């Protein structure tokens, strides 16, 4: 108490462990007290912890998996924490690989199932390499379990579950915060964000996904410290943004990003898109569709998601090239090149994702050609489903006439006779950017004719 009073008088900040309420001994909760259902555990997670324990090491399921178990949700991933070093862990498992530069971890594989095993981390040291803004670049300091708990980001992610004894070890009041639906960082928020600015994005993702309130002290520095994210490698920011957008609560995450002042610089294109009625509706529909698929356990393509987010930039440039005299399809390819060249560096888009985005965009004019053998050839395209779903989004947002989406729905699901019948139907409108019109040649005595369709 006297130390805290002196620190307050002198204006000295509390140490991270004091601010986080660090204890060397945790609160231990029995199976009856925490209520975790053992059937929600992965058999491979039990296999890893039991193997480590049988060889004389401590081993626990840790982090988000424990949080989800306490919430009654089956975790997607299981992380293990142990006092064994990475080399000691590697020796115990046939398929184990040490990875990581900032902090070494071990990936243990069982078939396609991957478990991440980390050694208890020790206290952060001043000697750890940092950049000029205070972000820790590399830190392989190992320590005790209570020190590891201090190093974790949020109280709800700093609990340890032992499958053998079915007990939960809680060092920082994580159980209480889960019950209060509160997200609270461990230690001094400013210091923790400076160590790793990506934690600010994690705050947003967890708050939106879990529908938790962010503790006032945890939220307060974010708006001011948001620019620190610019110093994080773009590939790491992209990984976190992808987790955010594919969390099953993408729209809620974006709203939380705006609320915390984190959207500027990360996805600046959303600011532009969401100010346009058609753009806002299109992005909202795309994110809602993504959320629905994830919540139903279906797969989602990152390429489709980013093709949707960047579509209105492509559309704007596509129309500009056509207005400058370029033909529709070459204009679309030029527009796609411009957008991808700009955003690949800004968002650290992987080549595969960029290729998928280009394929989805390039298919859109092809949906206009509903004559002869062209529709049948499109049915054979391996990207048909993604391109078709994208077309339906354009219809639903009001960008193009709903008739073309209805036609393709009937054609894809129809039998041979129904498809032949559909090919005799004259299209009402085109789907792509407005085509360049030519004035009809006619003699002075000729009667006016109805305008030709703009479909290609």
Active site (catalytic) residues = 77, 79, 153
Nearest residue to 368 (alpha-carbon basis) of 335, 397, 332, 339: 332
Place of tokens 């559309």: 315
Tokens representing 256 are: 């939380």
Nearest residue to 58 (alpha-carbon basis) of 49, 67, 46: 49
Nearest residue to 384 (alpha-carbon basis) of 408, 368, 406, 403: 408
Sign of the CA dihedral with 391 first, then 396, 400, and 405 last: positive
CA distance 297 to 222: 32
Nearest residue to 172 (alpha-carbon basis) of 18, 334, 323: 18
Q: How far is CA 21 from the centre of its chain?
A: 31
Q: Residues, the chain, total? A: 456
The SS3 assignment for 56 reads coil
Cβ-contact 187, 158 below 8 angstroms: no
Burial (CB < 10 A; 0-12, 13-18, 19+), residue 134, is middle
The SS3 assignment for 392 reads helix
Nearest residue to 391 (alpha-carbon basis) of 380, 381, 382, 401: 401
User: Which phi and psi angles does 79 have, rounded to 5°?
Assistant: -105, 145
CA distances from 354 to 342, 423, 433 (A): 12, 33, 22
């Amino acid at each position: 108490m006297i130390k805290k009073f002196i620190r307050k008088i002198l204006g000295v900040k509390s140490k991270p462990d004091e601010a986080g309420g660090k204890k060397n001994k945790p609160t231990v909760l029995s199976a009856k007290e925490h209520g975790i259902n053992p059937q929600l555990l992965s058999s491979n997670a039990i296999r890893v912890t039991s193997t480590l324990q049988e060889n004389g090491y401590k081993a626990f399921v840790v982090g988000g998996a424990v949080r989800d178990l306490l919430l009654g949700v089956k975790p997607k991933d299981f992380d293990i924490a142990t006092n064994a070093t990475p080399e000691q862990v590697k020796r115990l498992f046939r398929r184990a690989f040490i990875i990581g530069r900032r902090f070494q971890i071990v990936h243990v594989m069982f078939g396609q199932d991957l478990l991440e095993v980390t050694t208890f981390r020790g206290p952060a040291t001043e000697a750890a390499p940092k950049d000029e803004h205070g972000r820790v670049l590399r830190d392989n300091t190992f320590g005790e379990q209570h020190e590891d708990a201090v190093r974790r980001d949020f109280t709800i992610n700093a609990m340890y579950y032992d499958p053998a004894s079915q007990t939960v070890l809680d060092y920082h009041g994580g159980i209480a915060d889960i019950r209060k639906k509160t997200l609270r960082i461990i230690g001094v928020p400013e210091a923790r964000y400076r160590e790793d600015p990506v934690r600010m994005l994690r705050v947003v993702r967890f708050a939106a996904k879990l529908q938790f309130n962010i503790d006032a002290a945890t939220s307060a520095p974010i708006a001011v410290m948001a620019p620190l994210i610019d110093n994080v490698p773009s590939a790491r920011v992209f990984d976190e943004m992808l987790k955010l957008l594919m969390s099953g609560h993408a729209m809620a995450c974006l709203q939380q990003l705006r609320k915390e002042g984190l959207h500027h610089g990360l996805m600046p294109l959303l600011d532009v898109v969401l100010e346009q009625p058609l753009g806002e509706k299109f992005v909202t529909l795309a994110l809602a569709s993504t959320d629905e698929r994830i919540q139903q356990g279906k797969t989602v393509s990152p390429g489709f998601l980013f093709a949707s987010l960047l579509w209105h930039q492509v559309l704007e440039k596509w129309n500009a090239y056509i207005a400058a005299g370029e033909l529709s399809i070459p204009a679309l390819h030029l527009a796609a090149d411009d957008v991808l060249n700009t955003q690949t560096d800004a968002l650290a888009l992987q080549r595969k994702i960029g290729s998928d985005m280009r394929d989805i965009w390039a298919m859109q004019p092809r949906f206009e050609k509903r004559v002869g053998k062209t529709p049948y050839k499109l049915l054979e395209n391996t990207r048909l489903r993604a391109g078709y779903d994208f077309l339906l989004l354009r219809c639903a947002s009001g960008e193009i006439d709903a008739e073309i989406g209805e036609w393709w729905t009937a054609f894809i699901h129809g039998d041979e006779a129904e498809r032949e019948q559909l090919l005799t139907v004259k299209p009402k409108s085109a789907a792509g950017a407005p085509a360049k019109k030519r004035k009809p040649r006619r003699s002075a005595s000729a009667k006016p004719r109805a305008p030709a369709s703009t479909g290609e």
